Amino acid sequence: MMKYIRFSLVLFSAFLLTYLKAGIPPVTADGEVVSLAPMLKQVTPAVVNISVSTPSPIIDNPLFNDPFFRQFFDLPEARPNQSAGSGVIIDANNGIIVTNHHVISRASEIKVILKDRREFNAQLIGIDPRTDLAVIKIPPNQLLAIPMGDSDKVEVGDFVAAIGNPFAIGQTVTSGIISALGRSGINMRNFEDFIQTDAAINPGNSGGALVNLKGELIGINSNIISPAGASAGIGFAIPVNMVKAIVSQIREHGKVERGIFGIQIQNLNPNLAENFGISQTNGAVVNRVVKDSSAEKSGIKVGDVIIEINQIKILNANHLRSQLALIPPNNKFRLKIFRQNKIYTINSVMNPPISPKLSQGFSNKSPSKDIGITFANNKSGVVIAKISKNTAAASWGVKVGDLVISINGKKIKSTSDIPKLDSNNIDITLRRNNSILKIIRR
């Protein structure tokens, strides 16, 4: 019994310590139970409701706008569609609000409703569909902005609150924790590096705020995964550091300009990590370098494992892709790479988006049909005898001694069966220690 009591006290002490570190007292001076209310009173006025009018199909057709035509065919009166979302005031002095692009993408009119029920017509400043962000502006009339946090410092398990206007019922607050970081693959056309949370996010929450217990903005709520269309405890927010970079460009240029670094990358999986002799599996492997690109000029090589960019640790290939997309053209940045059991720091600069030389294609420091593998016969069949450095195969995870089963659907029994190989189009099946390894490149 005493052991149970001691264990409970330890848990309770840890709970109190968590809230003390967050700057929130566990008990008020009057003996009241701790609450998020004081923090929320400070930040909720900065979260707004966005009402959007979009043209109906009837309005889109000029013929249907004719009253006689509508009456003759007994058509309903043409009215614009209404939709709702959320937004966050990030600059009170200038009336700047950030929201999701998909909230206002087809808007003919954007109306902002504050928590105190004041309404303003908003002006669209700019959009970036690739990160699903948009910036709008209202008159700076007694507004309150939300303080910005640092999304690079958040951790799985941190307590958070989501604020928005779900189902257009009015401002609502939900709470939870950060469930995961660096989520991607929701929409492969976009640059994604989502914060995942179990704080309930529902339709209408899009564009709302994800805040920490200090009342700092750490993300803009954007997506959910749910078979029923409502919250299932899997919600995603755009990290505030990505928001800062995108909003800065939109405010300065009216749009987002992206450059070209000149690499093709893939995830650092356990097989590749073992092949490169690196203990971690976080990072991105360079498997191609664009000829005459900034990447080639700065010394990036095929087989390099990029583990940091501007002191931000890289989780995977998509994380690096999203971080590179935030660097404007002609801006300098720093990479940390792992190459041949050593760590190097490389300084580079982002190329402008249009460069005729970059259209010449990729370079692997070897002919396109030399993938970098030397094959040999032995009593078991055809095996890999050598893998050349700085070639396409150096980043595939293949090893000397792997038994070749088939290439491009053709069974391989001897080296004479090996077809002409092109690193751009290959399907090779290998056997290693009674396990099957399949390499597909398209």
Question: What positions carry a catalytic annotation?
Answer: 102, 132, 206
**CA dihedral for 115, 117, 118, 122, sign (positive or negative):** positive
Half-sphere exposure for 353 (CA within 13 Å, toward CB) = 7
CA dist list (Å): 184 to 23, 194, 234, 315, 355: 32, 6, 13, 11, 29
101 in helix, strand or coil? helix
Tokens encoding 168: 């257009």
CB 439 within 8 A of CB 397: yes
Structure tokens at 2: 């005493």
Task: Identify which of 307, 262, 265, 316 has the alpha carbon closest to the alpha carbon of residue 287.
Answer: 265
**What is the residue-wise DSSP string for 125-188?**
EEEETTTTEEEEE---SS--PPPB--GGG--TT-EEEEEE-GGGS--EEEEEEEEEEEE--SST
Largest CA distance in the chain: 87
**404 Cβ contact partners less than 8 Å away, ≥ 6 residues apart:** 375, 381, 382, 383, 384, 412, 418, 428, 429, 430
Distance, first Cα to last Cα, the chain: 64
Residue type, 310: N
Nearest to 188 by CA among 318, 325, 324: 318
Q: If we measure between CA atoms, which residue out of 315, 223, 325 comes closest to residue 268? A: 315
Of 203, 395, 169, 416, nearest in space to 287 by CA: 395
Cα 258 to Cα 261: distance, rounded to the nearest angstrom: 10
